[in-house]
Structure 1
Amino acid sequence: MFVPAVVTRVMQALFAREGRSLHVRAVGWATLVLGVAMLLGSYAVVAAERGAASANLTTYPRALWWSVETATTVGYGDFYPVTLGGRLVACVLMFVGITTYGMVTAAIATWFVSREQQRQHRLGQALRAGAARGERWVGEEAEAVHARFDRLERMIAAGGGPARGAGGDADG
């Protein structure tokens, strides 16, 4: 009774619509599909390999271990299908496994990117609010550099330009 209750709680936590972002729900569904594919793939490969010469996937525990190896693309080589049906099952497991792990990686990357975007958004809001109150966010050195560039731009626009070849400062 304990295992079904835990499974039920995990399923509710993963697939609840409230409070979960789309990428978290997608990862949950992809992981569920991967688990089912590994369980069914283990059964299917045992059925496909049964009676084949030199078959080494003849029991469900071995096939389950093989399906985990295959879905994660580890592939130790200790177990492998020898029939066409078994190899087709392997292809499906590889595809589902690679897709699932790609989705998990994308979800983690999305989480990092969204946190950075939120941080930059909050910083932008703080800067705009400070500017609206008349606060200054640049130091004296930065203001001096801006003033100097403004003077240079005015000189260039007037046609005077900075002095060249004198080796000295253009604004004196």
Structure 2
Amino acid sequence: MLPGFFTRVFAVLVGREGRSLHLKAAGGATIVLVLVMLAGSWAVVTAEQGARHANLTSYPKALWWSIETATTVGYGDFFPVTPWGRVVGAVVMVVGITTYGMVTAALATWFVGREDRRRGRAHQLREETVQALHARFDQLERLLTGERGGDR
């Protein structure tokens, strides 16, 4: 059941045919972020293993640290103390910031596109209404002119 779930999540994030490029990119970046957080958690535990004053000593702690680092929350409860641990932290930060920026941009583009399409439909409807009114007025003028011409 679990592999099927991940397959569906992957398909939703990057696989649909008709989706725009910015949504596919944001979905791909989200997948990369999750992989970087998972791998970064393992890498930071490995880098910090045996280091003096290390507090990232287990995978669950490191996973929590990678989530708060990627989201730039950074409570300060866990942090790397070795140079390699800090390199891993920098990678997690950059990927996290980039991903959240891409997702935010994709959502903003989607909202703007919807509004543009709505405005385009409203403009088209106004144009059609104006054309219909002009046709009615022309028809009324012809009727009035025809009645007057018949009375004279």
Partner Cα distance (1:48, 1:126) in 2:
63
Runs in 1 of length 4+ with deviation above 3 angstroms?
none
Query: Is 1:32 aligned with 2:31?
Result: yes
Counterpart mapping for 1:110-121 below 5 A: 110-121=109-120
Cα offset, 1:49, TM superposition: 0.7
Counterpart mapping for 1:1-172 below 5 A: 2-135=1-134
If the length of structure 1 is used for normalisation, what is the TM-score?
A: 0.74
Cα offset, 1:21, TM superposition: 1.9
* Aligned-pair Cα RMSD in Å: 1.5
Equivalence for 1:140? none
Equivalent residue letter for 1:116: E
Deviations 1:70-119 (A, max 9, x none): 00111111110001111111111010001111111111111111111011
Gaps of 5+ in 2: 135-152
Gaps of 5+ in 1: 136-172
- Number of positions where the alignment pairs a residue of Structure 1 with one of Structure 2: 135
Deviations 1:48-81 (A, max 9, x none): 1111100011111111110001001111111100
If the length of structure 2 is used for normalisation, what is the TM-score?
A: 0.83
In percent, how many aligned pairs have the same letter? 60
